[in-house]
Amino acid sequence: MGSGDDLTTQALEPLLGERPLQAQPLVLSTASHALEWADTGAPDGAVVVAANQIAPRGRAGAPWKLTPDRGLSFALVLRPQLEAEREGFLYTLVLTALADVSGPDVAIAWPDEVRSAAGALLAAADLQIRLGREGVKFAVVTFLLPEAKPPRGELLLRVVEAVEARLAGPQEVAFEDHRNICATVGRHVRMKLMGGRARLEGRSLDLDEDGALVVEKASGMRVAVRPQDVSAIDVA
């Protein structure tokens, strides 16, 4: 199988059926391509994948490394029924779904990674969320599975179906499942918040029901930090 042959329309349509799909040989990034499509009406569940990406990126624009025929990064358009104030809960649903397909004995590194018991990166996700007058208008979720090997179509489908199952399932179950395997809770964290100037340091105590990490500062003050507000995090 040649470079990217497993990620073509011809290879993926038998697996994805009638799911809307754009499979490209080369894009700047699947995230930017999916955002353009979502802005012009891409339906819920639409997938964007490419054999090659010039600049795949994750949270806060951090570069993702992909090598030819190794690793999988693709984008999924979601149009969930979710209030604007709960947009951060999408991270909870997506990361729990990624943990579901990553195997046993995995841990969630809040806000956007799934790691093995030994600490190896198994999967990551970046979410770009657009709000409307009635809540979340759409979200583009970009996934990275760095160790995926061809053929990758079945893994792509498992990730998509896991996310959709978590979206359709009880939110309280997803929250508890996420909370139970979140390795960040109980650790000392240093964060840089979006915008670059604000920083926060303290002990992470818990997750709240909207997906925020509750951090207690040295002063005793507690702050709930939303996943979409974090540009960098260091866990001790």
**Could you tell me the mean pLDDT of each successive run of 10 residues in the chain, 236 residues long?**
83 97 97 98 98 93 87 97 95 98 97 97 97 96 96 98 98 97 98 88 96 97 96 95
Give me the pLDDT at residue 69, please.
83
Instruction: Write out the CATH class of domain 5-180.
Output: alpha beta
Give me the pLDDT at residue 2, please.
54
Domain 188-235 listed as CATH 2.30.30.100:
yes
Q: Where are the domains of the chain?
A: 5-180, 188-235
Give me the pLDDT at residue 195, please.
81
Q: In what order do the strands lie in the sheet with 230-235?
A: 222-225, 213-216, 199-207, 188-193, 230-235
Alpha carbon distance 169, 172 (integer Å): 9
